[in-house]
Amino acid sequence: MIDEENAVTEVSKAIREIAKASGKAIDTVRSLGSFVADVISGPIDQAMGIVKDKLVYMRWERQARFIKRAEELFRKLGIANRHKAVPMSIAIPLLQSAFLEEDDELQDMWVQLLANAADADCRREVRRAYISILQDMTSLDAAIMQNSLRFLRNT
């Protein structure tokens, strides 16, 4: 019985600490909004609108780059006019991740993954696991993987 009471007391303490931390996080976000609004001499909505506009533009830029690179690769592979439909369970998470990728080398890997998924002659199936793996990679991880593959092909 004493152990249960101690456990309840400890859980109660932990919940109080989480509540304190959450309150501090909310206060920090509120302070940030007020600071930005003060700096631009406008309401918080206007300040957040500026940030939103920048993020929308950056996302549009990444989408435009991805589409251009994909069209180039599809033409190079000869699949621009004869590609197969990519299943939505692959296409949607792939495109979402590709459009958010800020690293050009990694975004090019997303382009290659899409091309493999769309190429009717490609013998390799593109699986959802590949999307998860690529989402977790850094450009260093990708370079190590590509160099390892080159080494294995040459041995």
d(CA 31, CA 149): 49
**Rg of the chain in Å (alpha carbons):** 24
**Percent of the chain predicted with pLDDT > 90:** 48
d(CA 154, CA 132): 28
CB-based contacts of 145, cutoff 8 Å, min separation 6 = 137
pLDDT at 115: 96
pLDDT at 13: 63
pLDDT digit string, tens, across residues 45-94: 666 677 677 778 788 999 999 999 999 999 999 998 888 999 999 999 99
Supply the DSSP symbol for 123: -
- Tracing tokens 């792939």 back to the chain, one arrives at 94
Cα 66 to Cα 31, 113, 127, 133, 145, distances in angstroms: 36, 12, 20, 19, 22
pLDDT at 46: 66
